Structure 1
Amino acid sequence: MLAQRLVEILFPLFALVALGYVIGKRHRPELSGANRLNMDVFTPALVFAALAGRQVDVLAYLPLVLAALVLVLGSGALGWWLAHRLQEDPRTLAPPMMFNNCGNLGLPLALLTFGEQALAPMVVLFIVSNLLHFSLGVWLLDRRARLSHLWRVPSVLAAVAGLAVGAAGWTVWPPLLTTLKMLGDISIPLMLFGLGVRLAETPIRAWRLGVIVALARPLSGMALAAAMIGLYQLMDGAWRLEPLQAALLLLFGALPPAVLNYLFAERYGQEPDKVASIVLVGNLASVAFLPLALAAVLAS
């Protein structure tokens, strides 16, 4: 049954986030060190192992990359317009519309829904979003930011290395690949638990704006994803998305704002209280939107 399948997929995600939230409220654990390790070690290991552990045809992912660009930039354009309509600063509202929680929620959601075969294409979506977030996203908040720092991001370096190894058809020494996969296995549960702890620490001072973005972010993302899937279906076979990639693109569009939006807003002094409310309410609303997106994907 579809309902049972939805519960089987979503329960582990929300259970780990809820556990992190409860622990965060009661004990206020200091996870900055663990989160730093996750960003610098565990997630790069996951990214590299997902791409280097199989033959990768880089050109086969090009339609998916272009679709992801349309989703991110299209959502940002809508966020910019929405900010002007609401008389808000576009730099506060546009980034949470553009950059979704494809790390904390997207990667585990893809893995639980479709298994290991979904990891590589979801990593591609994750990397596209990360590249834009650490370049365009930072530039929107600080026009003086040095974009050369992008190449110091460990997950970006791991993606480039993994794509190079996979595209060249090289075989990674199996014991080394197993070690990297074991490190990568740490990242997803730690992401979910850390998300719950972060949400427990997040203040809510802009409910109205949070609710508006909580609705606009997944609705615009899914609409753009559906439009791109439909457009590709009208093209030649080489430009059609594979069914798995199309399903992941729709899930990608439904994801809530990334927690990283709040961290960047705090770092650059861009109304962090408002961005915190947007992130928190948006992630709470994913309880409603992710089942809808999953139901659409599994029913097709």
Structure 2
Amino acid sequence: MEHLFLNVLNVVLPVLICAAVGYGLAVTKAPFDNKVIGGIVSRVGYPTLIISHLSTTRLEIGTFLDMVAAAVLAVAGFGVLGYAALRVLRLPVRAFLTPLMHGNVGNIGLPVTLLALGDAGMAYTMAFVVVVLVSIFTIGMWIPAGTVSVRKLATSPIIYAVVIALALMATGYTLPKPIEKSFDILGGLSIPLMLLTLGHTLAILKPRSLGRAFTLTALHLTFAAAIASALVWLFGFTGVERGALILCCLMPSSVATYLFIDQHVPEYGPDVAGFILISTLATILVLPVALAYWI
């Protein structure tokens, strides 16, 4: 048992240490521009990571699309259950549904599945990342803003990166070596920058009403366990697929969603910050248990 938990800590601790470095940068007031780094990751890091990783991973396109379908159903499941729970709790949907729907599969999911499940696990997680990112920057913005903008979807670099990656996977073609190496370098920026940004953002958030944050975190984890169990059964996932799906569902609330809440419903910003903080801290306990006993 001791050896098992030691292996689990070897997976989780590197992620926490990298995030702690970002937290330290915020505490020491070192220069760090979240918007600039976020723009680099979303416009350059994620697209090149998707293309470079998926195009070189030996993964059947049908299997990848199965995971995409599971991710779509997972986000929809969190949306439906979250909406119902918020209605029962009489909490504003515009403020809390977006963070309840979207897990932090980018900042935490990618490095955890890479360390725990290897390249194949990261490839499956990439399917989740694609779905969650598209959802965050469309539905995730539309809910708190109260408006719909198809233009945001059509101009997202991630959409075109997915199309290119799927075309390369389906045809078996590879990128020219100089471009492939360039994309490897640029894509390699994503995970360390995401972890630094996660720690930095958690340090500058100003939480409020931690009782509500604990309640929402408990709901989120309950939804995650139910949705993961249902999707594993529905798709018949086993092995690495199963592990990646479960880990992605257990991810804490996405830090990126806070920006939209703070912009459109700022009066609930501190409450959402508290939820993101507590759900992220809960991951320290949840992931070791999941990796040890469920995956």
Q: TM-score, normalised by structure 2?
A: 0.92
Could you tell me how far 1:63 is from its partner in structure 2?
2.8
In 1: Cα distance, 2:288 partner to 2:109 partner: 13
| Equivalent pair of 2:25/2:32 in contact (CA under 8 Å) | no
SS at match of 1:27: coil
Matched with 2:164 is 161
- The yes-or-no answer on 1:116 pairing with 2:129 is no
Match 2:190 to one of 162, 180, 187? 187
Aligned to 1:3: 5
- Aligned equivalent of 2:81, options 75, 78, 83: 78
The 5 Å alignment of 1:220-235 reads 220-232=223-235
Tell me if the contact between 1:52 and 1:166 (Cα under 8 Å) persists in the aligned partners: yes
Kindly report the root-mean-square deviation, in angstroms, between the aligned alpha carbons of the 2 structures: 1.8
Query: For residue 272 of structure 2, what is the aligned residue in structure 1?
Result: 275
Q: CA separation in 1, counterparts of 2:4 and 2:57?
A: 31
Q: Give the partner amino acid of 1:241.
A: F
Number of the residue aligned with 2:22: 20
Which whole-Å CA distance do the structure 2 matches of 1:218 and 1:249 have between them? 14
Shift of residue 61, structure 1, vs aligned partner:
2.5
Counterpart residue number, 1:249: 245
Q: For 1:81 and 1:28, locate their aligned partners in 2 and report how far apart those are by CA, in whole Å.
A: 42
**Counterpart among 191, 208, 217 of residue 220 in structure 2:** 217
Match of 1:208 among 208, 211, 216: 211
Whole-angstrom distance in 2 between the partners of 1:296 and 1:251:
12
Distance 1:88 1:256 in 2: 19
What letter is aligned with 1:251? L
Please say which of residues 104-113 and 59-68 is displaced more in the overlay.
59-68
Q: Distance in 2 between matches of 1:211 and 1:147?
A: 34
Alignment partners' CA distance in 2, 1:108 and 1:139? 29
**Separation of aligned partners in 2, 1:163 and 1:55:** 12
CA distance in 2, matches of 1:255, 1:16: 17
Residues 95, 261 of structure 1: 8 Å contact kept: yes
Report whether the alignment pairs 1:45 with 2:48: yes
* Whole-Å separation in 1 of the counterparts to 2:56 and 2:183: 10
Deviation at 1:28, TM superposition (A): 4.8
Once residues 192 and 208 of structure 2 are traced to their aligned partners in structure 1, the CA distance between those partners, rounded to angstroms, is: 29
* Deviation (angstroms), 1:297: 4.3
Count how many residue pairs are aligned between Structure 1 and Structure 2: 291
| Farther-moved stretch of structure 1 (200-209 vs 150-159) | 150-159
Q: CA deviation at 1:242?
A: 4.3
Which digits, 9 at most, give the CA deviation of each residue in 1:238-282, with x for residues without a partner? xx3242111100001110000111011122235222222211121
Q: What is the Cα deviation at residue 8 of structure 1?
A: 0.8
Post-superposition offset of 1:145: 2.8
SS in 2 for 1:289: helix
Regions of 4+ moved over 4 Å: none
Cα distance in 2 between the residues matched to 1:90 and 1:143? 11
Matching residue of 2:286: 289
- Please list every run of 5 or more consecutive structure 2 residues that lacks an aligned counterpart in the other structure: none
Tell me if the contact between 1:53 and 1:172 (Cα under 8 Å) persists in the aligned partners.
no
What amino acid is the match of 1:266?
A: D
Instruction: Give CA deviations for 1:142-192 in whole Å, capped at 9, x if unaligned.
Output: 343312211222223212211122212212112321221121112101111
Q: Distance in 2 between matches of 1:38 and 1:62?
A: 24
Deviations 1:97-123 (A, max 9, x none): 110000100111111112222222111
The percent identity for this pair of structures is 28
Counterparts of 1:155 and 1:46, CA distance in 2: 10
* Match runs of 1:121-140 below 5 Å: 121-140=124-143
Point out where structure 1 has 5 or more consecutive residues left out of the alignment. Answer: 233-239
TM-score calculated relative to the size of structure 1: 0.91
Q: Residue 150 of structure 1 corresponds to which residue in structure 2?
A: 153
Which secondary structure does the structure 2 equivalent of 1:100 belong to?
coil
